[in-house]
A and B are shown apart, each in its own frame.
Chain A
Amino acid sequence: DSGVTQTPKHLITATGQRVTLRCSPRSGDLSVYWYQQSLDQGLQFLIQYYNGEERAKGNILERFSAQQFPDLHSELNLSSLELGDSALYFCASSVVRGQEDTQYFGPGTRLTVL
């Protein structure tokens, strides 16, 4: 158990819909990262938050957004869903402490868009 929790574990929805994925980081970790794992793209970095502020953006679509709340949990919002958004979405957290930084991953949310 990494200490990072993600809900829900599975999500099945229809095209055009909007969903919210939730992540709680390990106790004491200030940074949260979101990654997407799909068969064709592999593991891709989406976005990073640090202590409530956006720190970096990767290959995140404009239909997707995220935020980190004062209690440090994070939510990833996916809207106008398309079939191609079906993937495993991972959250990771870290302290952010220079070269010693290590990211710990949650179990993921499997999104299926029908």
Chain B
Amino acid sequence: GDSVTQMEGPVTLSEEAFLTINCTYTATGYPSLFWYVQYPGEGLQLLLKATKADDKGSNKGFEATYRKETTSFHLEKGSVQVSDSAVYFCALSSSQGGSEKLVFGKGTKLTVNP
């Protein structure tokens, strides 16, 4: 079945450091790919998405490019802030089997220190 693998955390960075969180996927068909973020004590918020190969999703300085050849969707940010501290989830939706359900990775906890 479909699956998502993302790098194990936790990740601890200093403010203004460069961030990469790796995400790879296995899916039949052509999935849409998502990054969701969960701030402490809150629900999931959509951070960015890409629906086809070579698409780049971006939001709030975060970027991720849909790479079909490497089945990857790595999250990057050039300069992190303390307010970026959260848990980040990579997810896919393939619409296979008649459902648009999301399949999530295990999440990566990011802590940014001042």
Contact = CB atoms under 8 A, between A and B. Distances in A.
Interface of A: 2, 31, 33, 35, 42-43, 45, 48, 55-56, 58, 90, 92, 94, 96, 98-108
A101 B93 contact: yes
A85 B45 CA distance: 24
Contact of B89 (A43, A56, A92, A98): A43
Nearest to A97: B100
Contact of B97 (A56, A96, A101): A56
Nearest to B31: A99
A101 B43 contact: no
A103 B100 CA distance: 9
Nearest to A91: B43
Interface in B70-114: 89, 93, 95, 97-107
Contact of A103 (B30, B52, B95, B102): B102
A96 B43 contact: no
Top-7 shortest CB links A-B: A56-B99, A43-B104, A105-B44, A107-B43, A45-B101, A99-B51, A108-B43
